[in-house]
Amino acid sequence: MSIAAQVTIVRRPLSYPTGRHIEGEGRERIVVMATEVLHAVDDEVVEIARDLIRFDTSNYGKDADGPGENLAAEYVVDKLSEVGLDSEWVEPFPGRATVVANWAPPGTDMSLKPLMIHVHTDVVPAAASDWTHPPFAAEVADGCIWGRGAVDMKDMDAMVLSVVRARIRDGRAPRRPIRLVFFADEEASGFKGSQWVAANRPDLLRDCEYAISEVGGFSLTIRDDLRLYLVESAEKGLLWLKLIADGTAGHGSMRNYDNAVTELAAAVGRIGNYQWPTELHPAQEAFIRELEDSLGVPIEASTVEATLSRLGGISRMIGACMSHTANPTRLDAGYMSNVIPSQATATIDTRFLPGKKDELLAKIRELAGEKVRVETISDCASVETEFAGGLADAMQAALIREDPAAKAVPYMLSAGTDAKNFDPAWGIKCFGFCPLQLPPDLDFNALFHGVDERIPIDSLKFGARVLDHFLDLA
């Protein structure tokens, strides 16, 4: 493996997707401006979000190139260097750069360990023909910015840049040191991003006490005077598995009782149709109890999705965390319609409850049967952190400042973030906290990796303001 050198970058002019070319203002002028007026932290957030969405940072897997990620990383470096904040450029694989910056200006309490704010610049691919607006045009319509990455997660990228830039210009220090990390390759399990950084440059991460990232802090409207803001305090673990069936090759017109496709299809059917038993993790149980109190109705674990169906798409996410899940996602066999192949393969996306990986894997092997081998493609640990203490209090207080009806509650994420790749021995307390006050009728969960991904502009600005308050309190 060829590892490129890591270099510290102070400033790099950059050509933007809009065609503009920005050299950036000198630091001296920025200091003068900061003495004249306080900058609103949400002034730039829409512009930055649209700029970032215009970079096509589609991730086609760990074996593919990702030149768009470097363009976005260069943009991040430039935005930080414009306000005098230096960054470290980490590019272990060509075109897959991660950017790290330390922000601890005078006024920061250096007795406190850093808070890591980690985001990612890559996105899943998008087929433009399926979209109402082009996925990389960042068009504004119906009060939203439309585009791939609008909620996963260039919205938070933009919030972080907008807030940090405004605070630096105004000379407003955060309460504790801040570690900004813009990872590459999150959508392919972080093999060229957080996995590599955690294994090869742990010095960039391990000294942090807390970390916040995506898929948490968004609102669920219960009634006009109560909005629950779901803070991710646990993540299911991830196992991507490959099923391999071997058989006897032959002519398609002959009898064949050792058919690899038949064996594989039966195994896939057993796994895909298996009903996993309900198991309540503490984070999931805490969330359900909060919902019971808010709705004034008891919620049975076995009927949670039906009970909560009136709350929209959130019920699907809650249901996915009531048990392990295992979904067949790919099948591959043969090369001719009249040839019985000697091998057939499938991939299974499994997500296990924290601490239960061995339990899930044993069941998958049992369901696959003796004639089908099970190999691991990707293995990412589960994450769990108690939702209590100073950081939880800071989240609640920051939300209340912008929304008096806010109540922060913990929940478990059925998917995952880059936090899965942090060494548990480091003891970093990880949360999902990308604060968004959402329209009650928006099916937010359907936007992740979905067609017509978009972020309401008001939600984006709300998030920047909450994040700003949070940095005073965390």
- Tokens 């359907």 appear where? 446
pLDDT digits (tens, 9 = 90+) for 271-285: 999 999 988 888 888
Would you call 351 helix, strand, or coil by DSSP?
strand
pLDDT digits (tens, 9 = 90+) for 400-428: 999 999 999 999 998 889 999 999 999 99
Bridge partners of 271, per DSSP, are: none
pLDDT at 383 over 70: yes
With a CB cutoff of 8 Å and minimum separation 6, the contacts of 243 are: 264, 267, 268, 271, 345, 346, 347, 348, 368, 372, 373, 374
Share of the chain above pLDDT 70, in %: 90
Of residues 188 and 201, the one with the higher pLDDT is 201
pLDDT digits (tens, 9 = 90+) for 152-196: 999 999 999 999 999 999 999 999 999 999 999 999 889 999 999
pLDDT digits (tens, 9 = 90+) for 357-376: 999 999 999 999 999 999 99
Closest alpha carbon to 155 in 184, 126, 119? 119
Share of the chain above pLDDT 90, in %: 75
- Confidence band of 311 (pLDDT split at 50, 70, 90): low
Bridge partners of 102, per DSSP, are: 179
Instruction: Specify burial of residue 471 (Cβ count, 10 A radius: 0-12, 13-18, 19+).
Output: buried
- Confidence band of 1 (pLDDT split at 50, 70, 90): very low
With a CB cutoff of 8 Å and minimum separation 6, the contacts of 202 are: 423, 426
472 in Cβ contact with 397 (< 8 Å): no
Alpha-carbon distance of 155 to 236, in angstroms, equals 23
pLDDT of 203: 97
Alpha-carbon distance of 123 to 64, in angstroms, equals 13
pLDDT at 381 over 90: no
Cβ atoms within 10 Å of 107's Cβ, excluding its own = 11
pLDDT at 4 over 80: no
pLDDT of 310: 65
- Confidence band of 378 (pLDDT split at 50, 70, 90): confident
User: Considering just the CA atoms, what is the radius of gyration of the chain in Å?
Assistant: 23
Mean pLDDT of 441-464: 94
**Lowest pLDDT segment from 103-107, 182-186, 295-299, 337-341:** 295-299
Count Cα atoms within 13 angstroms, Cβ side, for 120.
28
pLDDT of 24: 35
**Domains, the chain, with CATH or none:** 7-219+385-397+411-473 (3.40.630.10), 234-380 (3.30.70.360)
Mean pLDDT, rounded, of the chain:
89
Of residues 313 and 422, the one with the higher pLDDT is 422
Look up the pTM and report it: 0.86
Closest alpha carbon to 438 in 213, 157, 141, 230? 230
185 in Cβ contact with 66 (< 8 Å): yes
Residue 332 belongs to what H/E stretch?
strand 325-333
Would you call 209 helix, strand, or coil by DSSP?
coil
pLDDT digits (tens, 9 = 90+) for 16-63: 333 322 233 333 333 333 333 578 999 999 999 999 999 999 999 877
Spell out the SS3 assignment of 226-291: EEEEEEEEEECEEEEEEEEEECCCEECCCCCCCCHHHHHHHHHHHHHHCCCCCCCCHHHHHHHHHH
